[in-house]
A = this chain, B = another copy of it.
Amino acid sequence: MSEIFNWNARIYYEDTDAGGIVFYANYLKFFERARTEWLRAAGVSQQQMSQEHQLMFVVKSTAVEYHSPARLDDELRLTVVVEKLGRASVQFIQEAWCGERLLTTGKIKVGCVGVESLRPAPIPGVILASISV
């Protein structure tokens, strides 16, 4: 089990809906921002990955539970934990917190694929080394 990576996201009007709360689909965006910054912190850029290796990560499955809502102006803390690191896929456990309140938990599986073919491909060794702790 890897350590926890944290990333913050502020809630703007764009993130909310007429229910007065954050639109649930947007937690997938927040989780991705956190995963992207986790990758970047490990020295991996997705632009580079696509240009140098002709590879990209695509999301294979998402399972999200919504416990408590967030509202305009809230500042969310998003967590990233690698649950399982495969040869061609990574499985994450992620949470969204507002202060001491747990808002959302997610289990996100991403796969490494060819940019053109969209076929599964092994994660390049140099990237695997960067994201293994």
Contacts and interface: CB of A to CB of B under 8 A. Distances in A.
Copies of this chain = 4
Interface in A1-44: 10, 12-14, 16-21, 23-26, 28-29, 32-33, 36-37, 40
Contacts of A32: 12-14, 25
Interface residues of A, number: 41
Contacts of A71: 18, 47
A45 interface: yes
A58 interface: yes
19 contacts: A10-B37, A12-B29, A12-B33, A13-B17, A13-B46, A14-B17, A14-B33, A17-B18, A19-B56, A19-B58, A21-B118, A24-B28, A40-B73, A46-B73, A47-B71, A58-B69, A62-B62, A63-B63, A69-B118
